[in-house]
Structure 1
Amino acid sequence: MPVAASAATSPFEAFFELSPTPAVLYEPVYDPAGKLVDFAFFRLNAAAQQVLGLPAQPTSTYRTQFPGAASAGFGAQQEQAFVRRTPVEASHDQHPYGLDGAYRVRAERVAEQLLVSFIPLAPEAAPAAADAPAGNEELRAANRQLAAAAAAVELARAEAELQRRQLHHVLEQAPAMICIFDGPAHVFQFVNPPYQALVGERRLLGKPIAEAMPELTGQPIFGLLDQVYQTGETYYAHEMLVQLDHLNEGRPELEQRYYNFIYQARRDVAGAIDGILVFAYDVTGQVRARQQAERARQEVDHLNEELAATNEELQASNEEYLTANTALSRAQQDLQQLNQVLEVLIAERTRQIQEQSNRLERLIREAPAAICMLDGPDLVVELLNAEYQALFPDRQLLGKPILEALPELIDGPGAALLRRVQQTGVTFKGRELLMHFARPGDGALEERYFDFIYQARYDAAGQINGLVVFGFEVTDKVRSRQQAEDLQAELLAATRRQLQERETLYQVFEETPAAICIQRGPEHRYAYANAAYHDFFPGRALLGRPVAEVLPEVVDSGVLALLDHVYQTGETYYGEELPLLIAQPDGSSRWMYFTFTYQAYRENGEIVGISTFAYNVAEQVLARQQREAQQRQLQAVFAQAPVAICVFRGPQYVLDVVNPLMGDMLGHAPAALVGSPFFEALPELTSQGLPELLDHVRETGVPFRAQEQAIHLGRHQPGEVGYFNFVYEPLRDAEEQLIGIVCVATEVTEQVRARQQVQDLNEELAAINEELAATNEELQTSNEELQDSNQLLLRTNADLDNFVYTASHDLKVPITNIEGLVHALQAQLPPTAQALPEVEPLLAMMQQSVERFKRTLAYLSDVAQLQQEDGQAAADVALPQVVQDVRQDLLPLIRETGARLEAELADCPAVRFSPKNLRSVVYNLLSNALKYRHSDRTPLIQVRCRQEGRFTVLEVQDNGLGIPKRRQPELFQLFRRLHSHVEGSGIGLYMVKRMAENAGGRVEVESEPEVGSTFRVYFPR
């Protein structure tokens, strides 16, 4: 009874099940040493299940299921076909698989399986092709899974590429100087271009800072880094002096630069500190501008002190002058005589005053500060130096009131400050005071900043008679500071934005399904890895360790060579589905397939590491490999299938697949047909209704099956047609859209013509059948008599009554009838008809079947006779004489095989047993020992006899083939034969056992394959 075919889960299964030829797929079975020893059943198609009478997937193996075929040598041929990948064929009339009729068995390796097909040799009408299993839904599901997997891979790749570009842009384009130190040695892991510019072409990446920047020894940098790494506390530096050899000239005097920077601890996923992030800004210009302004203020203060001392001297001189005048006035009358002396003194003092005045004027003119003296209530510019005039190069200042020469002071704070100092005498010191003056040339007001002092000047009477102005223009300094402050604020904001973006990116990295890591240095030490990357390698500590140490299984896979290449050349590498066998924490190994990108990681334009974006695409790869294996298997089955197969695509029915049998059937090479519209390649089919059939299948999606369709092909003669069985089966994609049509066809021209001939013969035989009817009635009477005899036998032996009755009654008479019919048919058919190729094999097969049944009936007769002889009287029989008689009967076979027969029966007593049955027992045991001999050694048969309790034991030992222990219970079953390479009936040992048991004895056997067997028959005394 055939097993119903399950729904096909792939195109291969659909075609496999559609094949009308019985076919079996096996999988190889290997021993622990890796030697091929057997084949396990993988799948039987519906036709094979029906012919062999087996389920779709038996649990046994080839050798256990078909011992006759294996021992007949076809098992070795199958192994040869699988190992050498060379097809083998064998034809069998009496087939070892237990099949009736002649078959050609073909074995051929398909991928990692063995395909065995059973092809009938007789030209008989083929049964209708089995309905193809409904596999469309499974195909659509598979297509949907493929589409989803492809979309997921494409989306993941796009996300990974976007994240890679964002990270690269953020780090490379940041306006601040950024670097990342790795580990307690502070190894440069990342350096952006502004940071690299600090030391020009000097290499930083992969080196500890103490090695890369040795000139920092003695400066506080190393200690600050250690402090942050050990405590985790962020350090903020403001205008810190750092000296580096910026031009890499090795000079002992290092340039002084000032920096604002942040040292922030970096932590791994476990929260442990594993590095330091650095964000720095060069504020040297700002610091130097402030220092320059400070020095200028100090110079102004020094000048102010000197001017103050000069004023004191002038004040003292004025006081002395007034005292002298007063003394002269009081003593004018009495100092007449001293006039000459006084004139001399006055002239001397006047000279000194003039020298002091000249020295003051010279000091004013040569002072680096802007100085002017304003005289009188109108504050007329009485004296000014070049520095003051240079502040207003297009103005005439000397001799003019200051508010006339500089009218802009009126609307600004200058005029009010001048008047206040003029009125109060209180000195005013201005710091970076904003004033507006007309710009030379276009007269537009511009903002200018000044540091200045307004100081009252006194006359001899102590009255304010003018002002002294000391000043510096600090516009550039103020603007530099403002720019520095703006830049610092901008950089601080940028730093904060970069930090936020970095945190955001890291958060994105942690949440993205892509596995991301950053490896630094030539050893490719892990500096960062997100959760998805850690999931690839559970239980492994990655950060801070090189790839070769963390992942030793990738050393021989080429991964390190790829990393080295990217690190050395900067060329991005895109890997597709790289297979890696990764050890798991439980000790097992797991195949993983990676699609990944290796991209050089640069700092300051120099490669310092590699960034990796990876996906585990094992599911897609395994699914695709399975699909490819199925496709290869499908292609192999297409090419090797015993039926013609092709696939049509599109409304023009373009041939997408054409196997060799289809090419032969259509009369064209497959390569010439593939890619061509079907009806353009075979125009003779256009008018035979096939376009309409295909259109109907394409429009409705309903399969079409044809039986013995008459078709005229180009290879046929004019007016000739061939007959074909074929199926048009629709193929659908994941959206249930029809994408093609599969055609599976077999040519049945010979079968149709043979059937037509047989029909003609049947008409001729009809008359013969009528004549045989009377003969059948006579035979029926004989059958009734035989039935009475069978009933008597049933009463004699209850164990065999049904079997003997069936054999004697239900089989013998029909076989006799059939044999008579065959003889009658042969007598009635003319010799020419019997010689026809369609008829002669059929007659031979019928005759052979009759002969086989007759032999079987003869064996049954022996069994029945044994039942009748159970009651024979026992007598004392000399066993040595019986053995000697049997030896004489077997002497030709003994000489042919060169066997040695050794008998130790001298002390053997007489056996109480039926003489005829005893001879039958001895004959069966000795003849079996000769028939089932081992081909590699000379047969040795030892016959012994001994007393054991109440039994006389006959022991026959040989060195033949031996019997596996698990099959020894089958030895004594009726018609059971364990070796099919020699002739036999399968009833000999059954009869030995039955005769011994009927006399109250028993039979035992010990056997070992490749060693031999020992049979012991226990006769009661």
Structure 2
Amino acid sequence: MPDSASASIPAELRDAFPLGDLLEGLLDTSLQGVALYSPVRAASGEIVDFTIDYFNPTAQRMLQQPARPAGTYLEYYPHTVATGVFAFHREAFESDAPTRMDINYQGDGLDNYFRLSARRVGRGLLVSFSDTAHHTRTAVELALRESQARERAALAEAERQRAALHETFMQAPAMICIFAGPEHVFELANPLYQQLVGNRPLLGRPVREAMPELAGQPIFGLLDEVYRTGQTFRANEMLIQLDHANAGNSELENRYYNFSYQARYDTSGAIDGIIVFAFEVTPQVQARQQLATTERQSAELNEELAAANEELQAANEEIRSSNDDLFRAQLRLNELNQELEVRVADRTARLLRAQTDAERQRARLERFFMQAPAAICILDGPELVYELVNPGYQALFPGRQLLGRPILAALPEIEGHEVHRTLQRVFETGLTNEENGILIPIARPEDGVLEDRYFNYIQQARYDETGRIDGVLVFAFEVTEQVQARRRADALQAATLEASKQLVQQRETLYQVFEQTPASVAILRGPEHRFDYVNPGYQALFPGRPLLGRPLAEALPETVDFGFLGLLDQVYTTGEAFFGTELPLQVRDTAGNLLPEVYFTFTYQAYHDGGAVVGVSIFAFDVTEQVLARQQAAVLQEEMQQRDAQLQALFEQAPVAIAVLRGPELVVELANPGMCAIWGHTLEEVLGKPLMDGMFELRGQGFDLLLQDVLTTGQAYVAQGQAVELPRHGRLETVYANFVYQPLRDSNGQITGIAAVATDVSEQVAARQLLARANEEMTAAHLAVSARNQELAQANLQLTRTNQDLDNFVYAASHDLKQPVNNLAGLFEELRRSTVFQDPEEKDLLEPMVEDALRQLGTTIDDLAVVGQVQRLPELAAETVLMDELTQEVLQTLQPQVQAARARITTDFSARPTLSYARANLRTIVLNLLSNSLKYADPARRCRVHLSMWVQEDRPVLMVEDNGLGFDVQRHRGELFHLFRRFHDHTEGTGVGLYLVNRIVQSNGGHVEVESEVGEGTTFRVYL
């Protein structure tokens, strides 16, 4: 390269201008930007980037970079990959020939039209480029850039409006979804709508696939009809059944909804989806079914609808006015294009005048042609051979040899094109031809690929001295950039109009949704909260009150007293949304009379313009009916609780075991603990099963025949002292019971089951049998009476204690032994009558209460049964018991009470880790004492209980200490261990526990000591 450069410069110039200084001077003074790059290759040898070796001063100015930036080419200009500029540099490096490129580059901080020329030099790449930053932009380019700015602004506004609409939908306190297409595919579902079906996926699925349980309901047909006709459908309190828990149940829950189906239109006016707006009104419907409400406000709401529609019509006129402004802008753009064409025509006229001057002054013509800023050539003869080509024309076809060659040889791609035909026609006819913006595909010199290029040109015949045509003179301008810019401007203008149409459509859709939604919607502007928009639902809340254009405090002064104005000020100031639930408001009518108090659930949402809060939107709905229904339900609940307390007191005093058997298979529907104790089974083992399946021990004992006879005849069966084999302590034992089988009838008198009432009289029978055997033994052993006196005295003492306990039990268990059957029948007759309700919901509420009361009644019966069983406790064999193990077993049983009292339980059995005692008896002692400590814990401090064992005179002593409520020992010492005696009434209990402990300990020859102080705690010492 240096050798060839040196050879082209005369020797005297090389001395005057050394090449090194000349190169440096050219780079510094060049009006073109010059860059030197070196390739960066991957392991495969592919060029993946360039290092920047040098920018000349002009390049530094254009690119705002230093002479040698630290980073690589793609680090500074990543946008060149997408625009093809990087590929241009890579292709230029891999080719030996110069390569050129023109591009309007907008990215990486640059926004200009660039012309680039690149060539490989040595191991690097030389790039020369210029931009149009210092040129005056054409009207088309200015219009294009203005159009681009308007498009970006319109798109940004459309996106902001779309985001605001989406945010409104997602935060609205209503269920909103959007279906797309005729298959009604879920396009949007806000959180409240999603809650209808839990975590079931909806988006992207057709409604028939996402909610198959709607088949057979009117929903699918309604959606199809709205999509087909475009007519809005509104439903009020429609029953819809959904699988809300996604459990696959065949029976679906009944829920009621107010909703609307509104067709959505695309920009061409075709229906492309449906907008759904819904509220669940199940509580209101159910409350109305229970409380008998009216619908007197519906007529007033309809009267306000016409006025609101007129306001919406005015808003639509404003939107149409905006469309007119856009149309006038488009007309202005067309005027700019026409102005450009006029300028081009004027420039062409000047060229024609120059041609006339050239005819008169040929010597000056060539210099003018060669220096003219236009592309000029002269074609000679019928073959149109290039006779003259100025630099501007040659630049249109870089690398092509034109001079001396026919035009089709130099430009073979124009053969058959209109430009060649008009040249021939001008040569033949002499008629001047002018074209503007004509498309001519020209082959690129580097690869021969045709690219579209646009030209303005004039073809004019040239005459010789005789007046004959001997050639054609061509004046041309390449206007590819202007044509493409004009087309981009047209496309951008179309995009802007489309975005504006979408924005208008979205606004119209939003207002239509607001107008037809069953919610109350209002928009307030400014710090005074001036009403800018109210929908019919909101206006109906304040009948006869003018709202639009008035500040809230002036239009609705009562909202100030209720605190709503302060909430709006807070939202306007902070921009944070406020959600109100069931807040009260009482307003006056136009006559000044106070209207009934109403309740609202609402959202105050700030809305922005230009990043600043400019107003507050209100989204509310009236929940007065729901609140009043709940208040009424609370009153009913209180009445039910009073009735429950009465029933509970009744059942607590009933000294019987109770069970209810239903249906022909006598399924156990109810069994209190007393009955379970007699049966020897837990409630879980028998509940919900036929009696003979749960109580298989009764098979073969004749009870199935007795029960079937009661079902068949309807006659009650009464038994006294009936023997029956039932499980006790892991084996069958003979148990004696008094019982009644009473048939139960429904409201039609049909027998539906049997009520069983029983008392365990095993101890009475055993006592009688024991006495009988004693008498027999005394008669048979008359001769040995002296030897047996001591034994009889001990037996008599035991018998006396037993009889005393039996007397207490008989009184508590039977209350009136003279007419037990009548009393029990009357009790169950009351139960039967109580189960007939006119209101099914009341029945559903009371029956669980009765069941709870029966379970509490069973506690007393169960404790009575335990008292009876204590008579046999001394017969249990003693065994070695580990105190730690037994205590942990009891604590496991009492775990719920321990957690409820947040109790800390500690033990110390080091003095006597084991004990020889009947395990069941010892467990009862520990269970009752520990249960009392937990039950009567002081709520003002954490419960602490300590169990320990010590030995006194070879007798083990169990001590239980707590820090509970305590009681007055001196006052209650005489009745401390009496049956059914209690000293605190704030907790449940029967007063049997201490009686059992004392009875067990005394039966084994021990005694119990108690120390207690009110507010400090209690200590029990059990001498075993």
TM range (shorter): 0.3 to 0.5
With the length of structure 1 as denominator, give the TM-score of the two structures: 0.37
Structure with the greater alpha carbon radius of gyration: 1
User: Which structure exhibits the higher relative contact order, with contacts defined as CA atoms closer than 8 Å and separated by 6 or more residues?
Assistant: 1
